[in-house]
Structure 1
Amino acid sequence: MRIINTIILVLFLFGCIPGSQPLMYNEGNRYLDQSFELLPKSKFKPIIIILKEVKVYVFDDNPLLTKEGMKGKSFASTDNCIYVIGKRDASGKIMLQQNVLGYELQHLLNWKDDRIKNPDK
């Protein structure tokens, strides 16, 4: 019985059992939040950046990325377009990597206002 419980636990942790995906996803976001909190606090006036007509293209597989020779699984363009890969969760809904979407959005914000850090530097 102990071996079966161990196998179930391993499958659960690696996302092979429906229901484990949100737990793993949330755990990853928790680590990202914790790393952001390690940055020192800073004071600045609020910044408002208006991006008009941002388009987000979600692909199950993005042939544009390999054609463009991109290293990652996503990219942003200066015409306010973001290209990302999505995957279906156990319920069939398409999930996006929040950190990837935010990373590409930060590019758009940086191009509009250089007070926002370029995420590549």
Structure 2
Amino acid sequence: MFHQCLHKLSVLICIGIIMSLIGCASVATDRRKEGFDALQRGFTSLPETPDLHEVIILKEVKVHIVGSRKLFNWDVAAAYGSPIAAYANTDNEMWIVGKTVKGRIIVNQAILGHELGHLLNFKENRVANPDELDGLGL
């Protein structure tokens, strides 16, 4: 009797662990989609500019995806406790923290877009500096 109860308990624990692992991936996916939707709603709320057509050529952009900010090539960003998760420089480089899931590299899409905004701003100052959007009332 005791062994049957122990076996059932073991099975329930295994099922719980499996469900929690499945749930983690689902939560990450849900949060990513919610974040994207929130950003898109904010962008959609801006007035239309149908005549806008700006071409900016970024040649030889180099993106460094690293597993730890310790590998950043900028001491301020690499420092312990630094809030910087990515940065771009005027040499057409981006440095961004990534993670590996099932052998595939994942980067935060919002941060990648933010750093691309810096590269575009470096080439053409009509493109807003993404760190100064508050000054535009956004």
TM-score, with length taken from structure 1? 0.77
2:118 corresponding residue in structure 1:
107
Matched residues in 2 for 1:80 and 1:28: separation?
Answer: 27
**AA partner of residue 20 (structure 1):** V
1:55 corresponding residue in structure 2:
62
**AA partner of residue 97 (structure 2):** I
* Structure richer in helix, relative to its length: 2
1:1-121, aligned counterparts within 5 Å?
17-65=24-72, 68-70=75-77, 71-89=83-101, 91-121=102-132
Q: Tell me if the contact between 1:65 and 1:73 (Cα under 8 Å) persists in the aligned partners.
A: no
Question: Structure 1: 5+ residue runs without aligned partners?
Answer: 1-6
Larger CA Rg, structure 1 vs 2: 2
1:81 Cα offset (Å):
0.4
Quick check: 17-26 or 72-81, which moved more?
17-26
Alpha carbons of structure 1 residues 39 and 94: separation in structure 2 relative to 1, 3 Å: same
Q: Secondary structure at the match of 1:69?
A: helix
Q: Tell me if the contact between 1:88 and 1:95 (Cα under 8 Å) persists in the aligned partners.
A: yes
TM-score, with length taken from structure 2? 0.68
**Identity in percent:** 34
Q: Secondary structure at the match of 1:33?
A: helix
1:115 Cα offset (Å):
1.0
Aligned length: 110
Provide the aligned C-alpha RMSD in A.
2.5
Question: Structure 2: 5+ residue runs without aligned partners?
Answer: 1-15, 78-82, 133-138
